[in-house]
Amino acid sequence: MRYRQYPEPYYEGLPPFNETGSPFNVVPIHEYPELMQQCCDLINSEWPRSDTARMRSLETSCDTLPVCLILTTDGLRQVIAHCKLSPIPGKKNACFCESVVVHQNHRGQGFGRLIMKCAEDYCRLMLDLDSVYLSTTDQEGFYEKIGYEYCAPVSMYGPRNCELRSLESGKKKYLRKKL
């Protein structure tokens, strides 16, 4: 998948990616299985879980949904960011962006914006989706800056005949972006 730089202000300051000579690439993890353990370690550094469970989740990545995208550098040898895009039952033109994480040594350098932009492009260009949903407990300011707006809670488990109060309680905020 080829990406290009965009002239819009949102993209100013992003490092070049997926271009000849660029040190950065965003690729689906299933195309680079040799990077799965490194990706597993990155995600577990933020949200600890057994390697077995995490690896099984990464191994579900495919060309449709779910797909795990990774931001790499050093000639596709170092994983510096990850995000997983999952289907939302009942919303066939949308997906849920989960487990977005940037390696601690690379935070504050625009890589969060970069992986989100690439994920949005992948959704629009490769999956023909028109919306991305996500939830966060502490990064809503970041997502608002890149165009996400608050929305009603979204269930990853499909439509329900009743409201799920557990989706509305707590600190979790739900956001959506139209692509």
Q: What is the pLDDT of residues 107-139, one digit of tens each?
A: 999 999 999 999 999 999 899 999 999 999 999
DSSP assignment, residue 166?
A: H
Q: What is the pLDDT of residue 169?
A: 57
Q: What is the pLDDT of residue 160?
A: 53
Q: What is the pLDDT of residue 171?
A: 86
- Please say if the pLDDT value at position 154 is more than 80: yes
DSSP assignment, residue 14?
A: P
For residues 40-47, give the mean pLDDT.
97
Q: What is the pLDDT of residue 8?
A: 42
User: Rounded to whole angstroms, how far apart are CA atoms 159 and 162?
Assistant: 9
| Token couple for 37 | 């353990």
Q: Which residue has the tokens 């170092």?
A: 78
For residues 73-78, give the mean pLDDT.
91
Neighbours of 107 (CB within 10 A): 13
CATH class, domain 9-128, is: alpha beta
For residues 66-88, give the mean pLDDT.
95
Could you give the dihedral angle defined by the CA atoms of residues 4, 7, 10 and 11, in that order, rounded to the nearest 10 degrees?
40
